[in-house]
Structure 1
């Protein structure tokens, strides 16, 4: 993907700026769903934030998005109690077997400009979790959540700015045979901690709206 501009970091190195990862947040997904439903009484086309493509939402897919939106606050409370599986069930999604690994070095588990960033700006620790989610339509989505703790709040903000840019690299998944593209992505920063979530379909044909909404939910359910 060609850059849309360039920026210089605090060390004087110039990086290309690419289109932001992801397609928007829950609010954008909600707007897309509303357009889809109003256009044809249940099936239609929703345009995701900044995307030139479109996504046809069936009534079943719209139900998946609505379930996540309407139950997210309750699920967040459950997740904070250390019950992530129950939290996903509250969103009408079934979590499969989870794989998790922690490390004290981030550069070895990243690539591209993100890896270069970690080589000169080491993280404090990295925790990765990857698991499948299945919706009531039988679609299965692989979810990768990476929680990076930096050594300063400014480093955390710089990491998020860099990794949010599509084409600058990423954190490596735990299950390498799942090709994460960064198209269905969300992130948040809180103090020294950056949380990143990505989703990719592994069976069925979940729409980009569903994938993006699950990515944002994964970030929201991850404790700070």
Structure 2
């Protein structure tokens, strides 16, 4: 199914639940003020009548993915028309205690070597906000990473618990895996999920947020 190197694997995982992670020593920082809200959704100087053409999220995400792969998280979000308001990061080695369901059972048989979790609170400046979770799970070998991808990508298989959205000062949001993307890089798999937090957020944007976030390199 997979070949060595960078492999993109999309999945309609469905509702796998989220839950609130027990967290300690979490870094919560205010993100830079980069980004211009939803302005990135419009491009060009406009034609007759001065109306600028609207670029679809599907087109914008390719530039966003390029920025994400280069480690430019703020630039990646800016390409999608949102900015990072706050973020939280936690790095630890214990995958078993931060997972549930079949995913946890897999860790019991195949311990990970590292777990890094990131939570982004993003908004468009117009009251519409989302939260994006990324978990990077590292295994001793590529085969275990590929096997794990098949497990976590299955409907109802459980999850690696995202960090609590309360860490960014937001009301608690449950992750359902309705907007989910995973990607394998060598022995590490990135698992990204996105959920609306306030206002009205286009489901296509939520899908793009998860897909783009999965491109980010492990911290």
Q: Do both proteins adopt the same fold according to a TM-score greater than 0.5, normalized to the shorter chain?
A: yes
Which residue of 2 is the match for residue 206 of structure 1?
Answer: 201
Give the 3-state SS of the residue equivalent to 1:96 in structure 2.
Answer: strand
Q: 1:138 to 1:197 in 2, by over 3 A?
A: same
CA–CA distance in structure 1, aligned partners of residues 154 and 211 of structure 2: 17
CA–CA distance in structure 2, aligned partners of residues 81 and 171 of structure 1: 25
Shift of 1:218: 1.2
Shift of 1:77: 4.3
1:21 aligned onto 2:10 = no
How many residues align structurally? 167
1:154 aligned onto 2:146 = no
- What are the residue-to-residue correspondences of 1:113-124 with 2, within 5 Å? 113-124=102-113
**Alignment equivalent of 1:217, drawn from 209, 212, 215:** 212
Give the 3-state SS of the residue equivalent to 1:181 in structure 2.
Answer: coil
Give the 3-state SS of the residue equivalent to 1:21 in structure 2.
Answer: coil
1:141 aligned onto 2:130 = yes
Which residue of 1 is the match for residue 48 of structure 2?
Answer: none
Query: Is the contact between residue 150 and residue 156 of structure 1 (CA under 8 Å) also seen in structure 2?
Result: yes
1:112 aligned onto 2:101 = yes
1:83 aligned onto 2:72 = yes
Q: TM-score, normalised by structure 1?
A: 0.66
Q: 1:66 to 1:194 in 2, by over 3 A?
A: farther
CA–CA distance in structure 1, aligned partners of residues 65 and 13 of structure 2: 24
Higher RCO (CA < 8 A, seq sep 6+): 2
- What are the residue-to-residue correspondences of 1:164-183 with 2, within 5 Å? 164-175=153-164, 177-183=172-178
CA–CA distance in structure 1, aligned partners of residues 86 and 125 of structure 2: 18
CA–CA distance in structure 2, aligned partners of residues 119 and 21 of structure 1: 22
Query: Is the contact between residue 14 and residue 156 of structure 2 (CA under 8 Å) also seen in structure 1?
Result: no
- What are the residue-to-residue correspondences of 1:25-104 with 2, within 5 Å? 63=41, 66=55, 68-104=57-93
Q: TM-score, normalised by structure 2?
A: 0.68
CA–CA distance in structure 2, aligned partners of residues 76 and 213 of structure 1: 9
Shift of 1:68: 4.3
